[in-house]
């Protein structure tokens, strides 16, 4: 099946720095990617929808200037957490799909565990 | 209103027994898909089973089956012959629209513990 690769799987950064997380579709063209955030023992909360070649659509309450999303190609979307603070520590996970694919397909990356110290 | 409701925060099941994880959903769309995912402690989301709103038969995938009751808007996951490796978080999810890749709505999850 199709594979979505997310990198890095774990990152520790200092407060005030920026961190970039990559989400790649390895064997299909992902016209749409979604970024989710998951706090411990909680569900996945959608942060934003990323469409190739256009601006991301952010969910209510998500700061677009803090969580920068770029979907410059059909195989890569990036999430940059800018000026990270300890409260940004969380598990971030992307999912990707293609309008040309089966409607049953929904592929997730492996997730990135971000710790801000 | 919550789109997906999972009312069981935690469940215990004896190894080799069957277990049902509950899920109810709320949508006014006629076309939608229902999914179950398993999330082990590593964090990855493992796709288990899918049910389309127009599917008349309940979906089955190996030891997993989905008890789809459209009128009641429920999509319970049944795991038969539980194994120790089934211990994980389980999320029910819905995607509105069938032919577009739309966002998922996730439930709060059920933590399943399989006892030896």
pLDDT in tens, B89-111: 999 999 887 656 678 899 999 99
Per the model's pLDDT, the better-predicted residue between B44 and A97 turns out to be B44
Q: Is the pLDDT of residue A100 over 60?
A: no
Residues of A in contact with B42 (CB under 8 A): 110
Span B40-52, average pLDDT: 91
A31 neighbourhood in chain B, CB within 8 Å: 101
Amino acid A106: pLDDT = 73
- Distance (Å, rounded) from C-alpha A5 to C-alpha A8? 9
Pairing mode of beta strands A10-13, A112-116? parallel
Which chain A residue's Cα is nearest to B89? Answer: A41
Interface test with B, best of A4, A45, A108 (most B CBs within 10 A): A108
Q: Contacts for A71-78 with beta carbons within 8 Å, 24 or more apart?
A: A71/A33, A74/A25, A74/A29, A74/A30, A74/A31, A75/A24, A75/A25, A75/A26, A75/A29, A75/A30, A76/A22, A76/A23, A76/A24, A76/A25, A77/A22, A77/A23, A77/A30, A77/A33, A77/A35, A77/A50, A78/A20, A78/A21, A78/A22, A78/A23
């Amino acid at each position: 099946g199709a594979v979505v690769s997310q990198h890095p799987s774990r990152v520790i950064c200092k407060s005030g720095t920026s961190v970039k997380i990559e989400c790649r579709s390895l064997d299909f063209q992902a016209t749409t990617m979604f970024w989710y955030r998951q706090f411990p023992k909680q569900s996945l909360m959608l942060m934003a929808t990323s469409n190739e070649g256009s601006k991301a659509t952010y969910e209510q309450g998500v700061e677009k200037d803090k969580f920068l999303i770029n979907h410059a190609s059909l195989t890569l979307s990036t999430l940059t957490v800018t000026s990270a603070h300890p409260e940004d520590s969380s598990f971030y996970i992307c999912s990707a799909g293609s309008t040309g694919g089966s409607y049953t397909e929904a592929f997730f990356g492996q997730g990135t565990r971000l710790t801000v110290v | 209103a919550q789109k997906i409701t999972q009312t069981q925060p935690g469940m215990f099941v004896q190894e080799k027994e069957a277990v049902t994880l509950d899920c109810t959903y709320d949508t006014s769309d006629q076309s939608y898909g229902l999914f179950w995912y398993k999330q082990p402690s590593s964090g990855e989301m493992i796709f288990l089973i899918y049910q389309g709103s127009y599917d008349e038969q309940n979906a089955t995938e190996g030891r997993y089956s989905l008890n789809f009751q459209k009128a009641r808007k429920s999509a319970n996951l049944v795991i038969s012959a539980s194994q120790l490796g089934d211990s994980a978080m389980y999320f029910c999810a819905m995607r509105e629209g069938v032919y577009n890749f739309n966002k998922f709505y996730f439930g709060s999850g059920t933590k399943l513990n399989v006892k030896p």
